[in-house]
Amino acid sequence: MSQLQALQAPQQLTLALSKGRIFEETLPLLRAAGIEITEDPETSRKLILTTNDPLVRVIIIRASDVPTYVQYGAADFGVAGKDVLLEHGGEGLYQPIDLNIARCRMSVAVPAGFDYASAVRHGARLRVATKYLLTARNHFAAKGVHVDLIKLYGSMELGPLVGLSDAIVDMVSTGSTLRANNLVEVEHIMDISARLVVNQAALKMKRGRLQPILDAIEQATRTTA
């Protein structure tokens, strides 16, 4: 946001959310802060949703774009998975609250029957398909596993089934998608949950309006955890 825009709308707050589980699981936390979203992103084609508070609006964007909008101040705050934040790098973002929603884990998975441990022991060079290049690179480097990473944007489970890769790094919650595709989890990389992120400048300039919302959300996170 330009300085002039910021001066013209000092009180307006913009919250960045993505459709689906982040949106659904953030709703009760917002409600605890007195914010009700008055439109449904699943039925509305609008990208800017109104709330019961004329000074709070919600923008609906791709999950992986949330840190970018907040970094540049186009959104004052937003909700993003730790997976997405690690890939983004977190520049310009203040990350005050683990919301404990959209919980899952990031794991390495391979086709059932592929002896991952043995391949690693023998120093094999593995092809790994993933959306999470940075996190995957760090993980395998720390373990001394040689990998060629292949960047995908979704449906990682398909990679090993059609010979694109030996393994994948993906998000797992119940494991049913892996099972349905005859893949098994062989390494747990980290636990994942969604975080509230705040633009650092907005936190200073709009603190009076933002802080009570952040406090109410944090309180709600603790009581529902």
Which residue ranges make up the site for ligand ATP (CB under 6 A)? 18, 20-22, 62-64, 81, 83-84, 102-104, 154, 171, 173, 192, 194
Place of tokens 């709308």: 9
| Beta carbon nearer to ligand ATP, 5 or 173 | 173
Query: Do the strands 93-98 and 126-130 form a parallel or antiparallel pair, or are they unpaired?
Result: unpaired
CB of 182 to ligand ATP, least distance (A): 18
| Beta carbon nearer to ligand ATP, 13 or 17 | 17
Spatial neighbors of 141 by CB under 8 A, at least 6 apart, are none
| Beta carbon nearer to ligand ATP, 56 or 104 | 104
CB of 61 to ligand ATP, least distance (A): 8
SS3 58: strand
| Beta carbon nearer to ligand ATP, 63 or 110 | 63
Quickly count: other Cβ atoms within 10 Å of residue 221's Cβ.
Answer: 18
| Beta carbon nearer to ligand ATP, 150 or 201 | 150
Question: Which amino acid, one-letter code, is at 105?
Answer: R
Residue showing the smallest CB distance to ligand ATP in the complex = 81
Spatial neighbors of 27 by CB under 8 A, at least 6 apart, are 37
Place of tokens 């730790």: 82
| Beta carbon nearer to ligand ATP, 62 or 146 | 62
Place of tokens 């936190």: 203
Which neighbouring-strand residues pair with 130? 151, 169
Which residues in 183-214 are b (16+ Cβ under 10 Å) and which e? bbebbebeebebbbbbbeebbebbeebbeebb
Asked if 198 contacts 77 with a C-beta cutoff of 8 angstroms, the reply is: yes
CB of 85 to ligand ATP, least distance (A): 9
CB of 83 to ligand ATP, least distance (A): 5
